[in-house]
Structure 1
Amino acid sequence: MALSSALSMAATISQTKALDLTTVADPLQFRRAVNLTDGTTAGKADKVFHDRRTLAASATEDLDLAGALLDAFGAAITFVRVKGLFISAAAANQNNLVVGNATSNGWATLLNATGTLTLRPGASVGAMAGQADPTAYVVTAGTGDVLKVANSGAGSAVTYDIVIVGASA
């Protein structure tokens, strides 16, 4: 099974100001992209996990990046390196989605041991390793492989989409 990935982040912004005789413009196009071919070294990935998930009110879940997640074909995935991570909280959520700070075996290479990201309803976040980065975001099975995702409050469930692209070696 071969994997080909094009990961990107982009922002196109145009700011203008009318002056007496002209209008000044400040256009910005910010784009970062990584194209990964099949494999496990720099610039390559061979595993992907993607899912739409729902957490009950006040619930949390631990996503084990080394052996517990299943790919689209039902095979267990063991990430050794994460090359790209994208998470999007549903706009209809009433509560925030909190990512990170697992109490045991936390995957700390992106957010450190106790770091978290809070995604308000409709918010998205993404991180990509550089094209030439041979290390990316390391996953250590059994000691550093759990990504915690939590519903920030009571009263209602939250839904989120997640995509993880990485390598098995």
Structure 2
Amino acid sequence: MALTRTKLSLSLIAAQTKPDDLSVPQDLIDYLKTLSFADGAGVGAANLLFHDQRTLAASGTENLDFAGTLADKFGQTLTFARIKAVLVVAAAANTNNVNFTQPAANGVPGMFLAAGDGVAVQPGGMFLWVAPSAAGAVVTAATGDLLTVTNSAAGTSVTYDVIILGAAT
């Protein structure tokens, strides 16, 4: 199955003003960065897509296992060799953070600086990581194939969206 029309865009539009005696100077930024991915496994290429909206119970934890346990929307099991992009978006209605980490044991290396590192995605927030290089983040079955998602506290569940682009070779 081919992965076609794959584009990732980031846009930031902001205006900053400072009223002055006779004028209102302003600084405008309209920043747009778009990366396109070809179907494949080399530089700027991806051929696997996983996406889901997930909910974790209070204080819950789950591992996303990239070596044969995730399935695409057609029911096909995905075995990633490389991860090229990760987007995690925490629901605005969450009370707790969604912690996204590279576990110390069997974590996918290359996305974070060290085992155990991660990011807290606050309610309504997002985390985006992209590596269009040929290497991306290398997945090794049984020894480097996990990313951990944790609800940061007790009391309430958290909901998050996750989108992963990767390559099978």
TM-score category (smaller protein):
over 0.9
TM-score scaled to structure 1, two decimals? 0.94
Deviation at 1:127, TM superposition (A): 1.2
C-alpha distance in structure 1 between counterparts of 2:136 and 2:34, whole Å = 15
Corresponding residue for residue 126 of structure 1: 128
Q: Which amino acid aligns with 2:125?
A: A
Q: State how far apart, in whole Å, the 2-side matches of 1:163 and 1:146 are.
A: 15
CA distance in 2 between counterparts of 1:31 and 1:135 reads 25
Which residues in structure 2 correspond to 1:20-59 (within 5 Å)?
20-59=21-60
Matched, 1:117 2:106: no
Worse-matched range after superposition: 152-161 or 12-21: 12-21
Q: Distance in 2 between matches of 1:35 and 1:43?
A: 7
Alignment RMSD (CA, Å): 1.2
Count, aligned residues: 167
Give the alignment's TM-score, normalised by structure 2: 0.94
Counting aligned pairs with the same residue, the percent is 43
Q: Distance in 2 between matches of 1:167 and 1:134?
A: 9
Partner of 2:93: 92
Moved over 6 A (4+): none
CA contact (8 A) 1:85 1:162 kept: yes
Counterpart amino acid of residue 118 in structure 2: T
5+ unaligned residues in a row in structure 1: which ranges?
Answer: none
Distance in 1 (CA, whole Å) between partners of 2:51 and 2:107 is: 20
Does 2:13 correspond to 1:12? yes
Query: Residue 152 and residue 80 in structure 1: after superposition, are their counterparts in 2 closer, same or farther (change >3 A)?
Result: same
Could you say if the C-alpha distance between residues 85 and 46 of structure 1 is closer, same or farther in structure 2, counting changes exceeding 3 Å? same
Q: Does 1:66 align with 2:73?
A: no
